[in-house]
Amino acid sequence: GPLEEMSLPLFFGWFLLPSVQDKVRCTSMDFLKTLDTLEAFKKHLSDFTGKAEKEVDLEQYFQAKGTLHCTTEFCDYGKAPGAKEYAQNTTVKEFYGSAFELSLSALFVTPRTVGARVSLTEEQLLLWPADPKEEAGSTSLPRGSRAHITLGCAEHVEPVQTGLDLLEILTLQQEGQQGEPIEEMELGSLTYYGEGRWLLTLREPICTPACFSSFYG
Ligand code: 2AM
């Protein structure tokens, strides 16, 4: 019946506490503001606009998408494959409602999304499901590679894209593409990977408290 169908959430994940959400949002806005002014970014502006001469205001370009969180398992109310098994997993049940500290190690921007990479600890990896997308490349990426927080999406782009954009950058790195080092910024080093893909590796990871829980919507 309908109640049974509702018994699984839309997704499980780590939810940032409201006070740190503001801090992370500010950091991301500052980064976008700075990136926008860089000559190197202007040089590759057509990645974002399709036209070389047009201007782009990155802060307007991306729209925020609700509460900041790092999705572990997308359940789609039970319709997604593996959702039931995940919800019934003893580790998932044990840690449900527990506090964690997430480490944000990088920020990334593409013409589609802006996000923060989350570097998971061994304990946090226990809550990370097997992810076919991480295993998809010719040599698969380490477990947890997709872990991220969506900070914003371009118009008509769904948040699921953020993790795929991150995997794309990590795949390039794994294939040996160093990217083009752009400059040392206050927050860390900025690298360009072509096709509008920018990665800011943070000098100091941002540590943020987060609660492992689920979202029904
Ligand atoms: P996100 O984790 O990149 O932000 C609700 O849509 C949440 O579930 C969003 O946070 C979204 O992306 C995530 N999500 C949506 N579809 C997904 C999918 N097919 N696989 C993994 N995560 C998904």
Reported ipTM exceeds the 0.95 cut: yes
Looking at the DSSP assignment, which residues form a beta bridge with residue 184? 189
Choice among 1-10, 61-70, 78-87 with the minimum mean pLDDT: 1-10
Average pLDDT value for residue range 202-215? 97
Amino acid at 115: G
> Which residues contact residue 42 at a Cβ distance below 8 angstroms, ignoring those fewer than 6 apart?
none
> Which pLDDT band, with edges at 50, 70 and 90, does 65 fall under?
confident
Query: What is the phi/psi pair of residue 149, to 5°?
Result: -120, 125
Answer whether 41 contacts ligand 1 (Cβ < 6 A): no
Whether residue 5 has pLDDT greater than 60: no
Q: pLDDT class for 191, splitting at 50, 70, 90?
A: very high
The pick from 117, 160, 213 for probing ligand 1's pocket by mutation, whose C-beta has the most ligand atoms within 8 angstroms, reads: 160
Q: What is the mean pLDDT of the segment spanning 108-112?
A: 98
Q: Model confidence at 2, in pLDDT bands (50, 70, 90)?
A: low
Residue 140 sits at φ, ψ, to 5 deg, of -70, 155
CA distance 151 to 67: 9
- pTM of this structure: 0.96
Contact, 186 vs 200, CB < 8 A? no
Mean pLDDT, rounded, for 12-31 = 96
Q: Which residue CA neighbors atom 23 of ligand 1 most closely? A: 160
Is the model's pLDDT at 3 over the cut of 60?
A: no
Note whether 187 and 31 are within 8 A (CB).
yes
Q: Is 156 a catalytic residue?
A: no
- Determine how many CB atoms are found less than 10 A away from the CB of residue 4: 8
The structure tokens 């398992």 sit at: 73
First to last CA, the chain: 19
Question: What is the percent of the chain with per-residue pLDDT over 90, rounded to a whole number?
Answer: 88
